[in-house]
Amino acid sequence: MNVHNLVQQTVFGLGLGAIYGLVAIGFSLVYRTMGLLSFVHPQYVMLGSVFGFTALVKLDLSLWTAIVPVGLLTALVAVVVDQVGLRPIRRRGGAEISLILATVAWGIILVEIVRQDWAYGPSALSLRSAARPPINVLGIELRWDTLGVLASGTVLALGLAAFLKLTRTGRAVRAVGESGPTAALMGIDVERMLAISAALAGFLGGVAGLLVGYLFSAGISTGTIGVKALAAAVIGGFGNIPGAIIGGLVLGVFDNIVAADVSATWRDAIVYGLIIVVLLLRPGGLFGRRTSART
C-alpha cells in the first residue's frame, strides 16, 4: 500500500472512528456510573439510524437540524428503558447478571419494535438523497459527509466533556461514577444522575446512529456497529471517557486499514482479537493509566 492510499484510508477511517467514539463514550459512561456492561446500548445506534430516516427522508430535515431531535428522542427512549427496565432491579439490589440480562431483553424489544411493518420494517433504509461531490486536498479525496461526521462527533464529545467537567450536574454524575454510596452521602440524588447518564449515553448513541445512517444505511442491523464500538471503549480504557473517543478514532482507522490492506475477510476477527489483547495486556486502555482488571 502506498502512502497516498494509507492517508486516504485514514481519512475514511476517521469518519467511522468518530461514530465508534460516540458509541464508546456511552458504553464507558454507563459503566462508570452503573458498573454495567449494557447490551441495549448498541440498539440506541439502531434507533438513532431509523429516527434519522424519519427526520431526513420523511421530514426532509438537513443533517444539522436533525441531530438534536434524533438525539433527544433516543435519549428519551434510553431514560424510559433505564427507569422501567433497570431501576426496579437496582432498587432491589439485584445481581449484576440480572441487570445485564435486562439490557439484553430491552435490546430485543427495541429491535423487534423497529422490525414491525408498521414501524420501519426489516430491510435497510437509505438516508442520503444526494451527497455533495467530494473535494480534493493535495490529492486526498475528502467527502463532505465524512468531514461533517467528524466535525459533529468532535463537537459532541467536547460538549460532553465540558458538561461533565464544568457543570454542577456533570460533576455530580462523575461523583456517582467514583462512588455511588459516597455521592449519596453528599446529598446527590444518585438515581437522577443515573437517569441523566442514561440520557447522555442514549443521546450520543442516537446521534451516532443518525451518522451511521447518513454514511452507510439505517435499519435494524445497524446495532452491529454498536457492538464493534465496544472494542473502541476497551481500547480507550473501559470507563475512560476521553479514552473512548481516542479509542473510537484508532479503531476506525485500524479497521479501515486492515480491511483495505490486510484482509477484508478477517477484519472483524482481528478487531475482536484486539479487544482480548488489550484487556489482557493494558486493561486500562492503550493510552490510559494502568488500572488493575485482574483478580
Distance between CA atoms of residues 151 and 93, nearest Å: 41
What is the grid cell recorded at 121? 420494517
What is the grid cell recorded at 167? 457543570
Comparing CA positions, the residue from 218, 226, 166, 205 lying closest to residue 53 is 218
Distance between CA atoms of residues 34 and 244, nearest Å: 17
Confirm or reject binding of residue 119 to other proteins (CB under 8 A): no
Considering the complex, state which of residue 214 and residue 238 has its C-beta at the smaller distance from other proteins: 238
Residues 1, 7, 68, 104: which binds other proteins (CB under 8 A)? Answer: 104
- In the complex, minimum distance from the CB of residue 119 to other proteins, in angstroms, rounded to a whole number: 11
Cα of first residue to Cα of last residue in the chain, in angstroms, is: 42
Confirm or reject binding of residue 123 to other proteins (CB under 8 A): no
Residues 98, 167, 169, 182: which binds other proteins (CB under 8 A)? Answer: 98
Distance between CA atoms of residues 197 and 86, nearest Å: 13
Residues 7, 108, 155, 162: which binds other proteins (CB under 8 A)? Answer: 108
Burial of 280 (0-12, 13-18, 19+ CB in 10 A): exposed
For other proteins, how many residues bind (rule: CB under 8 A)?
48
- Number of Cβ within 10 Å of residue 123's Cβ equals 10
Confirm or reject binding of residue 159 to other proteins (CB under 8 A): no
Chain positions 69 to 88 lying near other proteins, rule: CB under 8 A, are 85, 88
Q: Point out which span in 18-26, 65-73, 94-102, 145-153 binds other proteins (CB under 8 A).
A: 94-102
What does R_g of the chain's alpha carbons equal in angstroms?
19
Distance between CA atoms of residues 73 and 84, nearest Å: 16
Q: Point out which span in 1-9, 48-56, 166-174, 263-271 binds other proteins (CB under 8 A).
A: 263-271
Confirm or reject binding of residue 95 to other proteins (CB under 8 A): yes
Considering the complex, state which of residue 61 and residue 89 has its C-beta at the smaller distance from other proteins: 89
Chain positions 20 to 59 lying near other proteins, rule: CB under 8 A, are 31, 35-37, 39
Confirm or reject binding of residue 279 to other proteins (CB under 8 A): yes
Residues 102, 127, 195, 257: which binds other proteins (CB under 8 A)? Answer: 102
Chain positions 210 to 249 lying near other proteins, rule: CB under 8 A, are 227, 230-231, 234, 238
Considering the complex, state which of residue 134 and residue 283 has its C-beta at the smaller distance from other proteins: 283
The answer to whether residues 65 and 225 touch, using CB atoms and an 8 Å cutoff, is no
Distance between CA atoms of residues 151 and 21, nearest Å: 12
What is the per-residue DSSP string for 110-156?
HHHHHHSTTTT-SS-B---S-PPPPEEETTEEE-HHHHHHHHHHHHH
- In the complex, minimum distance from the CB of residue 21 to other proteins, in angstroms, rounded to a whole number: 18
Considering the complex, state which of residue 39 and residue 203 has its C-beta at the smaller distance from other proteins: 39
Please work out, in degrees rounded to the nearest 5, the angle formed at the alpha carbon of residue 183 by the alpha carbons of 43 and 164: 55
Which residues of the chain form contacts with other proteins (CB under 8 A)? 31, 35-37, 39, 85, 88-89, 92, 94-102, 104-109, 112-113, 115-117, 227, 230-231, 234, 238, 265-266, 268-269, 272-273, 275-276, 279-280, 283, 293-295
